[in-house]
Amino acid sequence: MALRIFETDPDAAPKERTSFADDTVGRFHSGTTAQDARGNTIPVSLAEWRITTGERSVADAVAQLFGGQPVETDSESENFIEVLSTVETVSVILDGPGAIYSDLKLWNRNKLVHHCDGVEFLSPDEKAGQPCGCPRLFAERKQAAKDFVGPSPSIAVTFRLADDPELGEFKFQTGSWTMAEVLHIYDNALTKVGGEAVANLTLELVEYTTKAGRNVSYRKPVLTGIRSYNSAVAEER
C-alpha cells in the first residue's frame, strides 16, 4: 500500500526531481572567489579564462590547449576540476543564434522573484506573457538591478572549441550588462551566417579614468569576428 497523504493536498506534493546536469562537458568562467582580510568571500575578476569540468580527460585537453594545470577542488559542483588557463581569447564554434540564450532574473537569496525578457514575464506560468513592469530605458534597468529592485541579465553562451570540437559543448554564463547591450548585434550576425559560426570569445580589457581622476580597469566578455564556420575552415586551407 502506498501513502496517499497528498491526495488531499496536491499542491504540497514534492515536484518530481529532474537532473540539473546539462549536456555540456564544462564551463568557462571570467572570475572566481577569494577571501578578504576579514574572511569574507568576495568575487574576483580574472584576466584569463578559468575552465571547470567533471571529466579528467577534458581538463587535460583544455590544459594542453590553453595552458594551466588541472586541479581537483572541493567544489560540490559536478564541474569540480579547475584549470586556470593562460589565455584571454578562445576560438569557439556557435550553432546559430540559439547558441546564446538570455533573460532577466532577480533573486532573493535562492528564490527567483522576477523572471522576464525585459517586456513580459517568462515565469511563473500564471504571469507568463503579462507586462513585467521593468523600466523602458536601459540606464534605468541597470540602476534598478543595482538597487536590487529589478532583474539582471542572465546570459548563457553554448559552444564547442574550434581547436578541438570533438571534446563536446562548453557553456559560459554571465550577468554582464556590457554583453547584454550587444546581444542584438550577435544575434543579427549569427542569423546572417545562417548556420555554424566561428567567433573569438574574449575577456577584453577596458581602462578609463573617471572625472574624479580615478583609474578604472576591468575585463568584459565579448564575442568578436563572428563568421561562417565553413568560410573559416576554407581560409585555413
Instruction: Kindly tell me if the per-residue pLDDT of 43 is higher than 70.
Output: yes
pTM of the model: 0.84
pLDDT for residue 217: 86
C-alpha cell at 236: 585555413
Alpha-carbon gap, residue 224 to 207, rounded angstroms: 19
Over the chain, what is the mean pLDDT? 89
pLDDT for residue 169: 97
pLDDT for residue 40: 82
pLDDT above 90: percentage of residues in the chain: 72
Cell 573559416, residue located: 232
Cell 590553453, residue located: 66
Instruction: Kindly tell me if the per-residue pLDDT of 17 is higher than 80.
Output: no
What are the Cα distances from residue 164, in Å, to 24, 84, 148? Answer: 14, 18, 40
Quick one: average pLDDT of 101-128? 94
Alpha-carbon gap, residue 61 to 78, rounded angstroms: 18
What SS3 class is residue 192? helix
Cell 533573460, residue located: 103
Q: Among candidates 44, 19, 25, 28, which has minimal Cα distance to 173?
A: 28
pLDDT for residue 19: 36
| Confidence band, pLDDT 50/70/90 cuts, at residue 77 | confident
Instruction: Kindly tell me if the per-residue pLDDT of 85 is higher than 70.
Output: yes
- Nearest 5°: CA angle at 113, between 180 and 179? 5
Q: Among candidates 195, 204, 200, which has minimal Cα distance to 228?
A: 195
Instruction: Kindly tell me if the per-residue pLDDT of 55 is higher than 70.
Output: yes
pLDDT for residue 109: 87
Least confident of 31-35, 94-98, 211-215: 31-35
